[in-house]
C-alpha cells in the first residue's frame, strides 16, 4: 500500500512537470492579455530541440536551455502576429500547433537519418542521483530535477506577478491596456516579453518530457500536454499557484492511468489512457464558465481605441 | 496672444489632420494659472483631440505648446506627466480588480528593493494625498466595489500622486449624480485654491456656468474664441458652440394620456452572474404620455429593458402591452405587439455598422411584404423607403442610402435608428439613453421626436442617466434604485435635489 502510494505521488509529480511549465507559460502570456493556445506547439519544439541538443552535446543542461530558447523563438512568431499585427490570436496559435510537429519531424528526420524519433539521449539528473533508493519503496520519491525546477519556477512567477512592479504592470496590461498606456507603460513591449517568456517556459516543458521523463524525442512525446496545460491555467484561475495545483490533478490522473494499467485492474489500458483527457473536459465544463479571465485576454491592443 | 508665465498652458495655432480630415485648424488655447478653464464644443468638434495633443497621445502637425511661458515638446504621456500634466479620461482608465492604491501607483510604483513592491509605503503615500486634498477614498477598496464618483476621485488622485499641477478632466460629469457633480465642482474649486490649474472638456453648459472661470469654444475644428463665464449666458454659449440659435428648453404641451398601454407588475430579473437586478418592479405607461425613469447606471435599467424586449428572462412578474402578456417570449413577438426600442448603445445593439444605411433602416422589418415578396428583398423599395426617412429626419449626408452606416456621425446614426423605430408607428416606444453622446443640436431633435410620438398617441418610456433630460422631457418622472421604482412624480412637482437623493438611495423614508 505504502509502495503504491509513494509510487503514485512520484509519478504524479513526474508527469505534472511538463504540464506545470506549459501552464506557467500560459499564465504569463494570458495575464498580459495574449491568448496562447500555441503552448502545445511550443512544447513540441522544446521537446525536439532538447532531445537533439542533448544527443549532440551530451550535456542535458545545455539542451534544456536550448529547448527554452527554441520555444521562445516560436513564441516570437506568435507575438509578432498577435501583438504587432493584431491578428486573431486563436488562428496564430492554431498555426503554431500545426506547424510545430511538422518542423519537429522534419528536423528529426534530417538529423537522424530519416528516423521519426531520436536515439536515447543523456537525461537531466535526479535529485538524489541516478540510483538512489533503487529497489526500495522510496524510489518514486527520487524526483527529476525538473520537478523541483517547476516548483521553483511557479514560486518565482507568483512572486514576480504579485510582489513586484513588473507583475503589477503585466496584470494591468492584461486587464486594461489603455489604462496602462496612459500611465506610460509600454503595452506592446510588455506583451512581447510575456509571450516570449511563455514560449521559453513551454520549451522547458517540452524538454522536461524528452530529457527528463523519457530520454528521447518521439512523435507522441508531446500529445495534448499543451492543451491540458491550458486547461490547468483556466482551472487555476490564471494564477501560477492555481495552475500548479491543477497540473498536479492532471498529473495524478496520468499516474493512475499508469498504475491501474499495470495489469490487475480489469479495464482496458486504452480506456485508462483517456483519463487525463476526459478529466480535462470534465474540469473545463465544470469550471470554465465561472473563472475570471483577465479582461483584455485575447484582445489585441490598438493605440487610441478604448 | 503673447506667451507669458501667467498662463499655465498656451497652445497656439494647433493644427491636426487625420487623413483628409482636419480635426483642428489653427486652434488657440490660453489657460490662466489657478483657474478652471472649460473647453466647449459639440461631439467631434476636436476638443478631445486638442487635449490628447496636450497629453502627448497625439502629435500636432503644426503649432506650439507653452507651459508657464516656456516652449515644450510633448512626445508622449510620460513627457506630459513629467511636465505636471494629468488627465482624467471620460472612460476611466482604472483596472477594475486592482485596489485604489494599486491603481494610483501603477507605472510609478513604490519599491523597497529592485522592483519589489512596498505596498505599505505606497498605501501611506496614497493616504497622505487623500488627506491633503480631503478626498473620501478608501485606499484598500477594489475599484469594482466603489461608486463611479469615487472612481473619478481615484483618477484625480492618480494625477495628483504624479505631481500634476495641470489637470485635464474629459467630460467629468457624464456619469455622476447631481450630488456627485456638486461635490466634483467643490473639489475643482478646492484644487484651484491649492494652486492647481484645471481644464475641463464638456458639452454641458450648466456645468461650465457652475464651475469654470473662462471658456474656450471650438466648432468643427475651428477656434471660436474665449469668453469670461461670469459675463455670458447658457444661450450665448450654446449658439457659439452650434453656430445657430438652439432652443435649450424642451417645448411641449400638457400630456393628455389615455388608457394604460404598457404595464409592468412585480417584475424580477436576475443577471448572468445570478444577482437580482430588478426586484419586484411596478410601472405603468399610458398612451400619450412620456414616463421618464431617472437613476444611476447599474440600478437595473439595462435588465428592465432587456426583459421588456425578451432579450433576457423575467424570473417573476408580468409585462403587458395593450393587455397582453409578452414576458419571456421572443423579441420578434414583442415587436409584433408594436413595442419598439431605441437601444442604449447604438453601435452595439441598434445598428449593423458595416451594412448600408438602407439595409439598416429595415433591420427589424425586412420580413414585411412591403420590402419584397416572400423571402426576397426588394432593394428598390427599401431604398425609396430609406430616402423618405433620410429626408424627413434630415439624416446627413443626404443621399447616403448606399453608404456604410459606420461612415455616419454618431448623431446621424442615432437619427437613423429613431427614424427606423418611429416608422413602425409603434404603440409603445422605449427610449434607453436616446441622447447618449449627442450634442445639443441632435439632442433637440431627439426630444422633439419623442414628444411628437407622444402627441401621436404612443406610450413612451424614457430611461436616461441624464437627470436633466428626464426632468425636461417626461410627463411623469419615476426614480429607479436597486431595481425598484422608489418614487414617481408629475413633472414640475419635484426638485432636482429630491430626485438626486432618491437616485442615491436616500429616499427610504
**Do B96 and A176 make contact, defined as CB atoms within 8 angstroms?**
yes
CA distances from A241 to A87, A155, A230 (A): 30, 8, 14
Supply φ then ψ for residue B97, to 5 degrees: -95, 15
- pLDDT (mean) for B73-81: 89
Q: Same domain, yes or no, for B12 and B32?
A: yes
In A, residues 121-150, which contact B (CB 8 Å cutoff)? none
The residues, ordered by sequence, that sit 6+ positions from B21 with a Cβ below 8 Å of its Cβ are none
Q: Would an 8 Å CB–CB cutoff place A164 in contact with chain B?
A: yes
**CB nearest to A179's CB, from B57, B76, B94:** B94
Q: Find the angle CA(A122)-CA(A124)-CA(A128) to the nearest 5 degrees.
A: 125
pTM score, whole prediction:
0.78
Chain B residue with minimum CA distance to A185: B107
Please give the Cα distance from A301 to B106 (Å, whole number): 18
Q: Same domain, yes or no, for B223 and B117?
A: yes
Domain housing B204:
7-242
- Is B259 contained in some domain? yes
Task: Please report the ipTM that was assigned to this predicted complex.
Answer: 0.86
Q: Which three cell numbers stand for residue A102?
A: 511538422
H-helix or E-strand spanning residue A208: helix A187-208
**Residues A222 and A47 sit within 8 Å (Cβ to Cβ):** yes
Helix, strand, coil share of chain B (percent; to 5): 35, 25, 40
Q: Same domain, yes or no, for B52 and B130?
A: yes
Please give the Cα distance from A78 to B222 (Å, whole number): 44
Contacts of A179 in chain B (CB under 8 A): 93-95, 103, 106
Last residue of a domain, one of B211, B242, B273: B242
Chain B residue with minimum CA distance to A304: B57
Taking CB atoms and an 8 Å cut-off, how many pairs form between chains A and B? 66
Contacts of B87 in chain A (CB under 8 A): 182
The tally of domains found in chain B comes to: 3
Peptide bond into B157 cis (omega under 30): no
Encode pLDDT of B113-168 as tens digits.
Answer: 888 999 999 999 999 999 988 888 899 999 988 888 889 999 999 999 999 999 99
SS3 B288: coil
Give yes or no for residue B422 having a pLDDT over 80.
Answer: yes
Q: Same domain, yes or no, for B47 and B187?
A: yes
Q: Same domain, yes or no, for B289 and B165?
A: no
- Rounded to a whole number of angstroms, the distance from the CA of B85 to the nearest CA of chain A is 12
Q: Same domain, yes or no, for B233 and B131?
A: yes
Contacts of B55 in chain A (CB under 8 A): 182
**Mutate: best of A33, A165, A185, partner B, most B CBs <10 A:** A165
**CB nearest to B93's CB, from A168, A178, A304:** A178
- pLDDT (mean) for B233-239: 86
**CB nearest to A175's CB, from B89, B97, B109:** B97
Please give the Cα distance from B425 to B422 (Å, whole number): 5
Among candidate residues A176, A174, A227, A240, the one with its CA nearest the CA of residue A27: A240
Over pLDDT 70: what percentage of chain B? 99
**Do B116 and A163 make contact, defined as CB atoms within 8 angstroms?**
yes
**Do A168 and B94 make contact, defined as CB atoms within 8 angstroms?**
no
Q: Same domain, yes or no, for B36 and B119?
A: yes
The residues, ordered by sequence, that sit 6+ positions from B159 with a Cβ below 8 Å of its Cβ are B86, B87, B88, B167
SS3 B316: strand
**Do B106 and A185 make contact, defined as CB atoms within 8 angstroms?**
yes
Q: Same domain, yes or no, for B68 and B150?
A: yes
Please give the Cα distance from A299 to B10 (Å, whole number): 38
Burial of A281 (C-beta count, 10 Å sphere; 0-12/13-18/19+) = exposed
Chain A residue with minimum CA distance to B94: A179
Pairing of strands B459-464, B290-294: parallel
- Rounded to a whole number of angstroms, the distance from the CA of B142 to the nearest CA of chain A is 14
| Residue B509: predicted pLDDT | 43
Q: Which three cell numbers stand for residue B273?
A: 452572474
Contacts of B105 in chain A (CB under 8 A): 168
Please give the Cα distance from A83 to B206 (Å, whole number): 43
**Do A179 and B109 make contact, defined as CB atoms within 8 angstroms?**
no
Please give the Cα distance from B370 to B349 (Å, whole number): 24
H-helix or E-strand spanning residue B10: strand B7-18
Q: Would an 8 Å CB–CB cutoff place A80 in contact with chain B?
A: no
Q: Would an 8 Å CB–CB cutoff place B93 in contact with chain A?
A: yes
**CB nearest to B106's CB, from A163, A183, A304:** A183
Last residue of a domain, one of B379, B397, B424: B424
Q: Would an 8 Å CB–CB cutoff place A181 in contact with chain B?
A: yes
H-state helical runs in B252-356? 301-308, 331-336
**Do A183 and B87 make contact, defined as CB atoms within 8 angstroms?**
no
* CATH number where B307 lies: 3.40.50.300
Among candidate residues B86, B61, B75, the one with its CA nearest the CA of residue B8: B86
Where in chain A are the domains? 2-223
Chain B residue with minimum CA distance to A293: B97
Please give the Cα distance from B344 to B436 (Å, whole number): 7
Chain B residue with minimum CA distance to A162: B117
From first to last of its 306 residues, chain A has per-residue pLDDT tens of: 777 888 889 999 999 999 999 999 999 999 999 999 999 999 999 999 999 999 999 999 999 999 999 999 999 999 999 999 999 999 999 999 999 999 999 999 999 999 999 999 999 998 887 777 777 777 777 889 999 999 999 999 999 999 999 999 999 999 999 999 888 899 999 999 999 999 999 999 999 999 999 999 999 999 999 999 999 999 899 999 999 999 999 999 888 888 887 666 677 878 888 888 888 888 888 876 656 788 888 888 887 554
Among candidate residues B336, B242, B281, the one with its CA nearest the CA of residue B461: B281
- Rounded to a whole number of angstroms, the distance from the CA of B128 to the nearest CA of chain A is 21
Contacts of B76 in chain A (CB under 8 A): 184
- Is B343 contained in some domain? no
**Mutate: best of B95, B102, B162, partner A, most A CBs <10 A:** B95
Encode pLDDT of B353-385 as tens digits.
Answer: 889 999 999 988 888 888 888 888 999 999 999
Contacts of B57 in chain A (CB under 8 A): 182, 304
Q: Same domain, yes or no, for B43 and B133?
A: yes
Please give the Cα distance from B270 to B244 (Å, whole number): 46
Q: Would an 8 Å CB–CB cutoff place A88 in contact with chain B?
A: no
| Beta bridge pairs of residue A164 | B116
- Rounded to a whole number of angstroms, the distance from the CA of B10 to the nearest CA of chain A is 22
Chain B residue with minimum CA distance to A160: B116
Give yes or no for residue B440 having a pLDDT over 80.
Answer: no
Q: Same domain, yes or no, for B77 and B179?
A: yes
Within 13 Å and on the Cβ side, how many CA atoms surround B216?
25
Amino acid at each position: 500500500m505504502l509502495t503504491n502510494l509513494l509510487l503514485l505521488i512520484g509519478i504524479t509529480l513526474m508527469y505534472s512537470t511538463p504540464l506545470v511549465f506549459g501552464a506557467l507559460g500560459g499564465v504569463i502570456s494570458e495575464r498580459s492579455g495574449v491568448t496562447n493556445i500555441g503552448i502545445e506547439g511550443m512544447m513540441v519544439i522544446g521537446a525536439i530541440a532538447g532531445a537533439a541538443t542533448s544527443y549532440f552535446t551530451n550535456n542535458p543542461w545545455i539542451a534544456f536551455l536550448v529547448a527554452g530558447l527554441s520555444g521562445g523563438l516560436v513564441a516570437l512568431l506568435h507575438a509578432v502576429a498577435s501583438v504587432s499585427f493584431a491578428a486573431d490570436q486563436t488562428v496564430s496559435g492554431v498555426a503554431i500547433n500545426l506547424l510545430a510537429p511538422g518542423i519537429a519531424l522534419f528536423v528529426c528526420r534530417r538529423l537522424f537519418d530519416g528516423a521519426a524519433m531520436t536515439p536515447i539521449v543523456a537525461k537531466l539528473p535526479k535529485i538524489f542521483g541516478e540510483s538512489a533508493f533503487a529497489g526500495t519503496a522510496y524510489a518514486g520519491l527520487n524526483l527529476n530535477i525538473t520537478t523541483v525546477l517547476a516548483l521553483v519556477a511557479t514560486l518565482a512567477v507568483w512572486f514576480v506577478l504579485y510582489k513586484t512592479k513588473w507583475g503589477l504592470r503585466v496584470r494591468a496590461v492584461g486587464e486594461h491596456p489603455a489604462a496602462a498606456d496612459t500611465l506610460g507603460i509600454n503595452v506592446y513591449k510588455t506583451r512581447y516579453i510575456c509571450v516570449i517568456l511563455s514560449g521559453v517556459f513551454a520549451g522547458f516543458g517540452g524538454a522536461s518530457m524528452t530529457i527528463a521523463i523519457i530520454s528521447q524525442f518521439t512523435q507522441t512525446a508531446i500529445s495534448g500536454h499543451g492543451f491540458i496545460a491550458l486547461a490547468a491555467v483556466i482551472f487555476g484561475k490564471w494564477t501560477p499557484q492555481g495552475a500548479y495545483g491543477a497540473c498536479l490533478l492532471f498529473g495524478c490522473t496520468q499516474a493512475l492511468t499508469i498504475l491501474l494499467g499495470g495489469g490487475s485492474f480489469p479495464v482496458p489500458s486504452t480506456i485508462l489512457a483517456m483519463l487525463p483527457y476526459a478529466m480535462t473536459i470534465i474540469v473545463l465544463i465544470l469550471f470554465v464558465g465561472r473563472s475570471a479571465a483577465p479582461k483584455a485576454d485575447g484582445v489585441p491592443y490598438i493605440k487610441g481605441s478604448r | 496672444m503673447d506667451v507669458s508665465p501667467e498662463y499655465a498652458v498656451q497652445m497656439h495655432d494647433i493644427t491636426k489632420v487625420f487623413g483628409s480630415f482636419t480635426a483642428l485648424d489653427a486652434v488657440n488655447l490660453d489657460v490662466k494659472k489657478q483657474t478652471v478653464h472649460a473647453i466647449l464644443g459639440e461631439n467631434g468638434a476636436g476638443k478631445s483631440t486638442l487635449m490628447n495633443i496636450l497629453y502627448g497621445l497625439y502629435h500636432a502637425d503644426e503649432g506650439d505648446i507653452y507651459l508657464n511661458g516656456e516652449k515644450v515638446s510633448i512626445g508622449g504621456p510620460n513627457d506630459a506627466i513629467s511636465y505636471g500634466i494629468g488627465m482624467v479620461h471620460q472612460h476611466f482608465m482604472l483596472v477594475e480588480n486592482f485596489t485604489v492604491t494599486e491603481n494610483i501607483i501603477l507605472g510609478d510604483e513604490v519599491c523597497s528593493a529592485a522592483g519589489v513592491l512596498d505596498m505599505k509605503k505606497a498605501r501611506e503615500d496614497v493616504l497622505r494625498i487623500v488627506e491633503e486634498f480631503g478626498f473620501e477614498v478608501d485606499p484598500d477598496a477594489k475599484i469594482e466595489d466603489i461608486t463611479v464618483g469615487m472612481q473619478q476621485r481615484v483618477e484625480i488622485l492618480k494625477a495628483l500622486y504624479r505631481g500634476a499641477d495641470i489637470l485635464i478632466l474629459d467630460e467629468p460629469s457624464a456619469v455622476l449624480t447631481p450630488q456627485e457633480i456638486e461635490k466634483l465642482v467643490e473639489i475643482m474649486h478646492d484644487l484651484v485654491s491649492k494652486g492647481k490649474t484645471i481644464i475641463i472638456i464638456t458639452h454641458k453648459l450648466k456645468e461650465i456656468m457652475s464651475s469654470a472661470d473662462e471658456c474656450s469654444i471650438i466648432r468643427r475644428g475651428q477656434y471660436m474664441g474665449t469668453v469670461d463665464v461670469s459675463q455670458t449666458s447658457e444661450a450665448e454659449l450654446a449658439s457659439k458652440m452650434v453656430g445657430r440659435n438652439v432652443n435649450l428648453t424642451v417645448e411641449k404641451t400638457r400630456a393628455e394620456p389615455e388608457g394604460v398601454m404598457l404595464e409592468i407588475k412585480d417584475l424580477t430579473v436576475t443577471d448572468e452572474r445570478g444577482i437580482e437586478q430588478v426586484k419586484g418592479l411596478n410601472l405603468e405607461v399610458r398612451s400619450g404620455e412620456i414616463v421618464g425613469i431617472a437613476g444611476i447606471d447599474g440600478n437595473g435599467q439595462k435588465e428592465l429593458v432587456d426583459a421588456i424586449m425578451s432579450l433576457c428572462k423575467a424570473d417573476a412578474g408580468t409585462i403587458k402591452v395593450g393587455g397582453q402578456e409578452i414576458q419571456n417570449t421572443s423579441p420578434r413577438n414583442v415587436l409584433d405587439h408594436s413595442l419598439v426600442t431605441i437601444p442604449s448603445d447604438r453601435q452595439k445593439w441598434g445598428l449593423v455598422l458595416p451594412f448600408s444605411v438602407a439595409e439598416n433602416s429595415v433591420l427589424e422589418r425586412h420580413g414585411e411584404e412591403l420590402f419584397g415578396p416572400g423571402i426576397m428583398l426588394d432593394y428598390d423599395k427599401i431604398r425609396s423607403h430609406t430616402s423618405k426617412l433620410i429626408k424627413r429626419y434630415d439624416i446627413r449626408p443626404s443621399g447616403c442610402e448606399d453608404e456604410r452606416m459606420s461612415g455616419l456621425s454618431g448623431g446621424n446614426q442615432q437619427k437613423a435608428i429613431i427614424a427606423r423605430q418611429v416608422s413602425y408607428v409603434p404603440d409603445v416606444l422605449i427610449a434607453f439613453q436616446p441622447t447618449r453622446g449627442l450634442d445639443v443640436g441632435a439632442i433637440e431633435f431627439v426630444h422633439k421626436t419623442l414628444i411628437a410620438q407622444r402627441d401621436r398617441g404612443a406610450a413612451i418610456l424614457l430611461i436616461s442617466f441624464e437627470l436633466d433630460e428626464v426632468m425636461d422631457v417626461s410627463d411623469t418622472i419615476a426614480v429607479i434604485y436597486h431595481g425598484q421604482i422608489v418614487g414617481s412624480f408629475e413633472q414640475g412637482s419635484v426638485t432636482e435635489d429630491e430626485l438626486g437623493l432618491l437616485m442615491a438611495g436616500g429616499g427610504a423614508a
